[in-house]
Amino acid sequence: MIQTRVLPPAQEAYQYPLLIKRVFQTGLRYETQREICYRGEKRFTYREFGERVHRLANVLTEAGVKPGDTVAVMDWDSHRYLECMFAIPMIGAVLHTLNVRLSPDQLLYTINHAEDKLVLINDEFLPLFKAIEDKMTTVESTLLISDAGNTTADLPNLKGEYEALLAAASTSYEFPDFDENSVATTFYTSGTTGNPKGVYFTHRQLVLHTFALATSCGSFDNNRLFGSNDVYMPITPMFHVHAWGIPYAATMLGIKQIYPGRYEPNLLVRLIKNEKVTFSHCVPTILGMVLGADEAKGHDFGGINIIIGGSALNKSLYKQAKSAGIQLTAAYGMSETGPLIAFAYLNDQVLAGSEDEKISTLVKAGMPVPLVDARVVDANGNSLPHDDKSQGELVLRAPWLTQAYFNEPEKSAELWEGGWLHTGDVAAIDSMGYVDIRDRIKDVIKTGGEWLSSLELEDLISTHEGVREVAVIGLPDPQWGERPYAVIVPQAGATITAQVVKEHLAPSVEAGVINKWGIPTQIAVVTEIPKTSVGKLDKKRIRTDMTSWKEQNSPFLSAL
Amino acid sequence: MIQTRVLPPAQEAYQYPLLIKRVFQTGLRYETQREICYRGEKRFTYREFGERVHRLANVLTEAGVKPGDTVAVMDWDSHRYLECMFAIPMIGAVLHTLNVRLSPDQLLYTINHAEDKLVLINDEFLPLFKAIEDKMTTVESTLLISDAGNTTADLPNLKGEYEALLAAASTSYEFPDFDENSVATTFYTSGTTGNPKGVYFTHRQLVLHTFALATSCGSFDNNRLFGSNDVYMPITPMFHVHAWGIPYAATMLGIKQIYPGRYEPNLLVRLIKNEKVTFSHCVPTILGMVLGADEAKGHDFGGINIIIGGSALNKSLYKQAKSAGIQLTAAYGMSETGPLIAFAYLNDQVLAGSEDEKISTLVKAGMPVPLVDARVVDANGNSLPHDDKSQGELVLRAPWLTQAYFNEPEKSAELWEGGWLHTGDVAAIDSMGYVDIRDRIKDVIKTGGEWLSSLELEDLISTHEGVREVAVIGLPDPQWGERPYAVIVPQAGATITAQVVKEHLAPSVEAGVINKWGIPTQIAVVTEIPKTSVGKLDKKRIRTDMTSWKEQNSPFLSAL
């Protein structure tokens, strides 16, 4: 480290840590009357929300929660979840957002591994909780949440029901100052192998992430995504990277917020219509679900901005959404990265281009947001040129990346090998700095001595009008190393065969976009493609399925 | 400090300091083609600007500048100054922005006190520099800047001329990582007594200030001040709190920037017209100068946003600007505070009010920006209620306040008494959180047992159509403790007497806005009011002048 000039502060008291309470205070200062709304049924002004966060802090403290303790939440997306996102870290405790889509065993693993002390639980999840209750090793008490109005339940050391406890609590709580490097939130990411891994974020990290998000989405005019007058509804679960951290930014700006509870497609569309939602975010699968809802038929969404992340955005979904009045913008991030790393900002050069060039940029991972350092490296860790051609692993530095996997020193060392966070994604960066994700390292198909991107192949196949959804995987092949296989859900009434796919891909082979090894010799036509608990294509499962179908010569298959 | 959960990072390498180079890199990533323009004469794209910063880093390093050294700049507002704002801190050195309006003795004091090693000097300041050169104790070498195209000058250990050195330097420089608490910038604030005091800001502070600025001005829609598509020109000197830090925010967003050189009113107006400037900031005095320029006569400024700080904004200036097509918004800050503390954001409640209520808010100091904690306290340091009535000293905490006055332990302790930065301003905060500056503590007039705000009196007197400018001070009075005196510059052709002022204030006395002791019994009618080097009313000088006029029974005076 070089010797710069570092001067001591006049007093220790000068130290001003970056704490989540500052984000909270800012929002309440700017807005008192706007609403935080749950399913269109319950409404709270920012002033009421502020009081409820103070009440919740008192409830938690009286329930025995101490600074450093971990408090788990098991709820649908709600105003309550938002209250927990502030109150729990603001008293110095750690918020553990439980992934309710995990298997009971995995859920149990995360509760024990994170050392949860108190669990707030919506009674709709009681059966799941009861099934694993006996094996919990650290949970000391529970708090009941009930949309049905139940005030008690068969739960261990139940401290009471959320609304009743809040109503009885004081609206005054002095949130303390503490080290900005204190852990504020944690949650588990389910990899393709082994147990879920715990990532965690500190107060400093969440504050900086909030600023980077607000600045990226509010100040870059070429495709400005939101400002304080927007109406926000997440369609990414709050247990998943705290809904991408966007509720923190929305609260800081005093934005009207809508929380939809569980993701019923017709309810989501109704909320968008009735609450005049102008800004949201989701994974492609959920967007497909929303677009397919009865309530969405023939509806013009009026230019609502939706950020797409989690999986690659393809052009056909972009165009389908556009025709329904939805402006999509891709973003890139992952559980380990807070998540925001890049979003598809259009610079002046792109903006001056054709509509098709603009769309090509809007569906890319995008431009790294303020403060992020993104590089592509080869297998030896050497930086590759930004020429849009050189592909390598995307590695990152930024102020809000998880510092490690909780209590997993080996996996942590692998994640941070060489001092850079390894994303496991294969990417290329162009001369302007746009990052284009080409594949997951483990999803790259090595065929005939060439690397073939399963993502690119999915994108090409998806542009066939008869294809509703597609996943491409590689399977071992004695002659070619690996060969690509496609699993396809056709549009209603469409007939898709391996021959149809081959003909559709022929122009891309001629144009040199893919080589001829890229044409799948075998496809499976199915009614549904397996997804992970966060809605991504479950390639591990798809690979297993495809292997067994091949062995069984399944009737789903179509070969050339 | 309470015990929260703090976990060690996977590796030391995880540490990601908040450095100015990240702000720089973000801007260059988002924009390559937009211009940074000097006086309408020289133009550089962001790409060229980026290269020049790298070249300058090489020039400075070759000139012997080491991390921790202080490098001083003495130039008009220019692209060069912007380059120094990045290159100097980014190599780990400290940028000292010299105040060219100080007296030679004061300037010398600041150069020696800051321990400047290298001075970059525009040859228009050569006479000033030569006059004090012999008494400089730490300066080792100099770099010449010349708009006239001079390539050499009689300067000690001259390393060369800026443009020639840049042209010869490499465009490649690997900016290092270092402690985010390293000092990045310093400058001196001239108080009303004693030597100038040095304030300083670290990399971390500038990065956080930049984010708070971008978020406040870009994301709050009710009066959004700028986004990346705006065109920016400062009319606050870059030596003064680095032009309020706004060049850092503008660069991060890739905004087109115009630097006007020296402040010739007609040039400023021409640049606004020709470069289509949409966003600026200045003190009221400078705005008056701009509005009074020949080029501004009859010109509609087309809704340009101008932030007003440094002194209170009064309604009459607001309305005068509005009728010329200029939208003013007040902001509050000081040299010690980075400077941004509050800006006159309109919340929904104010927005729903009358035009007059909106203007009343727009001319207030405003709403504290994200992360700032602002309170008013009584003489014992107790917090006062936010009722718009309770007046006390405004005290602050925020992540970007100067940690101390450089090498001034006693004054530093006074500044940070009780762990809060003491502004010396008397303020009230209303229930919504708006801060209203009522006066400087030392400018409050204690008359007849009551506190009278000189600012409020100035504001009231300024609304008389015959008044161009006004300053109010208090002078000792054997009977009343103190009495208010006004110094007034009348509009051309207007006749202002003490009687005129009394009649103008009568309705305010009747309405209880001020009490009858608030009416000045004596005023001075002058052609100019003395200002400090940064354009504020020089109340110290005004007090001296008024005292001697009273003693001499000056013909300027008018009594009741």
Q: How many CB atoms lie within 10 A of CB A385?
A: 12
Note whether B228 contacts A222, CB cutoff 8 Å.
yes
In a domain, A321, yes or no: yes
> How many residues would you count in chain B?
560
- B57 shares its domain with B157: yes
- B363 shares its domain with B450: no
In a domain, B257, yes or no: no
Angle at A363 between CA A360 and CA A533, to 5 degrees: 155
- A173 shares its domain with A40: yes
Q: Which pLDDT belongs to residue A192?
A: 55
Q: Which pLDDT belongs to residue B513?
A: 77
Q: What share of chain A is helix, strand, coil (3-state, %, to 5)?
A: 35, 25, 40
* Last residue in a domain, options B175, B202, B229: B202
Which residues, 6+ apart, have CB-to-CB distance to B477 below 8 Å?
B447, B483
Q: Is A123 helix (H, G, I), strand (E, B) or coil?
A: helix
Low-confidence residues of chain A, pLDDT below 70?
A: 1, 9-14, 191-193, 449-451, 534
Q: Say how far apart CA A26 and CA B219 lie, in whole Å.
A: 13
- B67 shares its domain with B151: yes
> pLDDT tens string for chain B (560 positions)?
678 788 776 566 567 999 999 999 999 999 888 999 999 999 999 999 999 999 999 999 999 999 999 999 999 999 999 999 999 999 999 999 999 988 899 999 999 999 999 999 999 999 999 999 999 999 999 999 999 999 999 999 999 999 999 999 999 999 999 999 999 999 999 765 678 999 999 999 999 999 999 999 999 999 899 999 999 999 999 999 999 999 999 999 999 999 999 999 999 999 999 999 999 999 998 999 999 999 999 999 999 999 999 888 888 899 999 999 999 999 999 999 999 999 999 988 899 999 999 999 998 899 999 999 999 998 888 999 999 999 899 999 999 999 999 999 999 999 999 899 999 999 999 998 999 998 877 777 877 766 788 888 898 999 999 999 999 998 888 887 888 999 999 998 999 999 999 999 999 888 877 878 889 989 999 999 988 776 778 888 898 898 888 888 888 888 88
Q: Say how far apart CA A282 and CA A301 lie, in whole Å.
A: 15
Q: Which pLDDT belongs to residue B1?
A: 65
Q: Say how far apart CA B400 and CA A8 lie, in whole Å.
A: 14
**DSSP-assigned letter for residue B105:** H
Best residue in A1, A2, A3, A5 to probe B by mutation, most B CBs within 10 Å? A5
Contacts of B32 in chain A (CB under 8 A): 347, 349, 432
Q: Say how far apart CA B442 and CA B539 lie, in whole Å.
A: 10
Residue in A336, A393, A458, A469 annotated catalytic = A336
In a domain, B145, yes or no: yes
- B49 shares its domain with B175: yes
- A125 shares its domain with A194: yes
CATH number of the domain residue A93 falls in = 3.40.50.12780
Q: Which pLDDT belongs to residue A11?
A: 61
Contacts of A13 in chain B (CB under 8 A): 416, 418-420
Instruction: Provide the shortest C-alpha distance from residue A309 to chain B (in Å).
Output: 20
Note whether A1 contacts B177, CB cutoff 8 Å.
yes
B389 by Cβ neighbours in 10 Å (0-12 / 13-18 / 19+) ranks as exposed
Cβ atoms of residues B313 and B284 within 8 Å? yes
Q: Which pLDDT belongs to residue A555?
A: 83
Best residue in B1, B3, B4 to probe A by mutation, most A CBs within 10 Å? B4
* Last residue in a domain, options B306, B338, B370: B370
Q: Is A392 helix (H, G, I), strand (E, B) or coil?
A: strand
Q: Is A43 helix (H, G, I), strand (E, B) or coil?
A: strand
Instruction: Provide the shortest C-alpha distance from residue A122 to chain B (in Å).
Output: 27
* Last residue in a domain, options B345, B370, B395: B370
Note whether B413 contacts A30, CB cutoff 8 Å.
no
In a domain, B488, yes or no: yes
Q: How far, in Å, are A52, A263, A321 from residue A307 at the CA level?
A: 29, 17, 12
Residue B495 lies in domain = 444-559
CATH number of the domain residue A503 falls in = 3.30.300.30
H and E: helices and strands count for chain B: 18, 26
Per DSSP bridges, beta strands B522-525 and B557-559 are: antiparallel
- A366 shares its domain with A454: no
Q: How many CB atoms lie within 10 A of CB A373?
A: 14
Residue in A446, A502, A540, A550 annotated catalytic = A446
In a domain, A331, yes or no: yes
Q: Which pLDDT belongs to residue A449?
A: 67
Structure tokens of B111?
A: 């150069």
- B122 shares its domain with B39: yes
Element (H, E) at A329: strand A326-333
Which residues, 6+ apart, have CB-to-CB distance to B415 below 8 Å?
A10, B336, B402, B404, B405, B421, B422
- B62 shares its domain with B144: yes
Residue in A110, A189, A210, A337 annotated catalytic = A189
Q: Which pLDDT belongs to residue B481?
A: 80
Q: Which of A144, A158, A26 is nearest to A86 (CA)?
A: A26
- A192 shares its domain with A268: no
Q: How far, in Å, are B268, B286, B295 from residue B273 at the CA level?
A: 9, 17, 10
Instruction: Provide the shortest C-alpha distance from residue A5 to chain B (in Å).
Output: 5
In a domain, B14, yes or no: no
Task: Return the half-sphere exposure (C-beta side, CA atoms, 13 A cut-off) of residue A273.
Answer: 13
Note whether A227 contacts B215, CB cutoff 8 Å.
no
- A48 shares its domain with A181: yes
In a domain, B225, yes or no: no
- B306 shares its domain with B172: no
Give the residue numbers of B marked as catalytic: 189, 336, 446, 451
Query: How many structural domains are present in chain A?
Result: 3
Contacts of A212 in chain B (CB under 8 A): 211
Per DSSP bridges, beta strands B141-145 and B158-161 are: parallel
CATH number of the domain residue A364 falls in = 3.40.50.980
DSSP B420-483: SEEEEEEEEE-TT--EEEEEEGGG-EEETTEEE-HHHHHHHHHTSTTEEEEEEEEEEETTTEEE
Contacts of A217 in chain B (CB under 8 A): 219
pTM (2 d.p.): 0.88
In a domain, B464, yes or no: yes
Note whether A30 contacts B178, CB cutoff 8 Å.
no
Note whether B3 contacts A67, CB cutoff 8 Å.
yes
Note whether A68 contacts B416, CB cutoff 8 Å.
no
